[in-house]
Structure 1
Amino acid sequence: MTTGHPTLLNILHYGEDQEDATTRQYTKHLKLMFKKRGYADRHLDALDGTLDVYLQVAPKFSKKNACLLSQISNCGITPTTYKQYQSDGRRLIESYHGDLQKRRERRSRQDGFARLQAVLPDLVKGRLIKPNQPRTLPRLFDLARAREWDMIDITRGRVISLREDCLNSDEWGRVKQGAEFLESPRFYRRPVASFYATISSTSCCA
């Protein structure tokens, strides 16, 4: 039962009407995933086309989600294919609502977050941080930017307030992981600390 929102079927039709190849690919993959999962048009027309509803239908892939792993196996697709279909479906929904464009604009900002991201590869190369640690940061940075915060504005209290901006517990978990990385002693160990001091001072003068 919809609540006045466009339905998932409306969003599929929107994607089919677009001329650019990328959006059409998003649409193709979303249709394939729904078909594999057994959703007909009548089912999609009864579901709100919101990201919240979509993530209930097609949750983000997790090796810990035994139920999802079983469903993927029953659909006859690989986890890699599911991840591609799921992420492209999310992008189509975000494109429809304008959220994808807004996130890309935020990502293009030359702020303290961008300056930090620019030095992370060097820190990984120098074995000052682990290769997987920077992957915890993008969601934290995006939610902070959406509130018009910069790197120097991040505090523990503000991070906690981002909980209300997260779609689910998994997303909140990634935000917390990013914050824990920024607070970790390893991140502040020299020469990491000198990088961070440079970033912060530059941001203050911007």
Structure 2
Amino acid sequence: MSYGYIAIELVVGFIMLLILTKLFGKTQISQLTPFDFISALILGELVGNAIYDKNVHLGFILFATFTWALLIIIAEWITQKLRKTRKFLEGEPSIVIRNGLIDRKQLKKNKIDIDQLQNLLRQKDVFSIREVEYAILESNGSLSVLKKPMYATPTKSDLKIPPKPVHLAFPIISDGIVDEENLKEAGFDEAWLSKQLKLNKISNAKEVFYAEWKQDEGFYCQKI
């Protein structure tokens, strides 16, 4: 195999994986179901093995990748249109702690022991099972926790504190480069930015590692 041919296959494989990733949506790694995870691995293996196998031509890579992608798309379409298939194809949540008591049957069904359950709880900042009223093991393996009232974090409504409006922070400078779009979105211009930098004893944006604007807190910056 020539270096040029390998380069072409790599470029084609890269573009195909990029297109398919965009096509499948913006599901995060933590949100992937076991089926999604295995599908992604197989898709990568199809492209990877085909690229370095001299007996496999470019057409085979395209055919295998698009065929596998088509199967995934069909499976996704089926789960969207036919609700009854979701349990089989995507799995279903399991209540592993109910009314403060561990459901041993659900732990056994999902092949999780008490140590693994405690590990998942600690990832939710829960260090004692007595704090939990309900815990649901999601189909992607993550754990959702509802604490007992006495252990739950009080909200502003509980404390009768009037709510304040929430404002989005606009990153203005990153690694010395001004983000013109965010600056305009925040409602300012270069003159305003220069003034803010001078107030912070900075002569040039290139001296700034990071800067942002937040309506309720104003301008913030950190030098390189």
Choose between structure 1 and 2: higher strand proportion. 2
Higher helix content, 1 or 2: 1
Higher radius of gyration, 1 or 2:
2
Shared fold (TM-score, shorter chain, > 0.5): no
TM-score in terms of structure 2 length:
0.21
Normalising by structure 1, we get a TM-score of 0.23
